[in-house]
Amino acid sequence: MRRVFEMKSLIVAVLLTAAACGSAGSSAGTPLTVPEMKFAVMDSAGKPSYCDPDFYPIARLDGEQSNAISMYAQIKADAVTYAAIIAHEHLPVGDLTDEQKLAVYRAWKLLRAMTLTASGSGYTFDYTVAGAADFQQVTGTVRSDGVVQISSRSPGRRPQCPICLAASTLIATPNGSVRVTDVRIGTIVWTKAADGLRVAAPVVEVGSMEAPATHRMVNLALADGRELLVSPGHRTADRRQAGDLRVGDQLDGSTITKWELVPYAGGRTYDLLPAGATGFYWANGIVLSSTLHT
């Protein structure tokens, strides 16, 4: 009888130990998915500041709501990401209203704007957060169970979103220069074909957006006298951003002699897309790549 009692006591002890081990494991929680970890970082460090594709390079006529509806099926098809969004935004698992689809779409854009880099058993992050009065660069780590450790917060920079041309810009056409504000769909402009030839083509898309009061433009001048006022994110024909150019660089067959960031009081910025394979056009005599070209 004593041996039976001892055996029962041993079994109970083993079961209690197993239960205790199980409790320790469950306290750490099930490892989070990458989207869930991204939300954990945002909740702790702040949302990423980024160039929203629905507003940069221009605000599209169909609007963010229409894009939210059209993208919904694609977002939902990514089951892991969709589940993380639904849980984080406290949305129902069934059919969603258009307003709820917009919430899904906005959360999805935030997830795409954040990058986590695998490091050991967790991930590191390094991104820009928009504060109440400034921008901060935040770095840190997130564990697989969602525990976030912020390593540093330092002064950051506003993302250089490509919001196009100044209102005074002149666009080259077969009938002479036309202000960019007067260009319409169907306007015939000069574009640069894939073989390098200058050809006439109709404009297939135009757009503009309101420029914030704090927006600054790149004012650059070339040795041959051409000058341009353009947003830092706008690209040249060789895909460089205007904000990355410097005095002495070569641009469109000449040399940059002046490059400076200046305040812009034009109210709105503009862009256009000519038909053809390249999306190139001449602005104040300098060949550029349309930000509307995919």
Pairing of strands 198-210, 188-192: antiparallel
Cα–Cα nearest to 43, from 182, 132, 138: 138
Half-sphere exposure of 104 (CA within 13 A, CB side): 30
List the single range of 46-50, 145-149, 289-293 with lowest mean pLDDT.
289-293
Q: Catalogue all structural domains in the chain, each as residue range(s) with its CATH number.
A: 34-155 (no CATH), 170-289 (2.170.16.10)
117-119 β-sheet, strand order: 117-119, 122-130, 135-142, 148-155
Q: What is the mean pLDDT of the chain?
A: 86
Predicted local confidence at residue 17, as pLDDT: 35
* 17 vs 95, higher pLDDT: 95
Summarised one tens digit per residue, pLDDT across range 9-40 is: 433 343 333 333 222 233 356 899 999 999 99
CB of 63 closer than 8 Å to CB of 139: no
List the single range of 126-130, 239-243, 276-280 with lowest mean pLDDT.
239-243
Half-sphere exposure of 116 (CA within 13 A, CB side): 24
Q: Which tokens sit at 54?
A: 């629905």
* 149 vs 121, higher pLDDT: 149
Mean of pLDDT values over 185-196:
96
Predicted local confidence at residue 160, as pLDDT: 63
Distance CA(276)–CA(294), nearest Å, equals 12
Mean of pLDDT values over 206-229:
88
Summarised one tens digit per residue, pLDDT across range 133-184 is: 788 999 999 999 999 999 999 998 877 665 689 999 999 999 999 999 999 9
Predicted local confidence at residue 209, as pLDDT: 79
Cα–Cα nearest to 273, from 193, 192, 203: 203
Which burial class, exposed, middle or buried, applies to 197 when counting CB atoms under 10 A from its CB (0-12, 13-18, 19+)? exposed
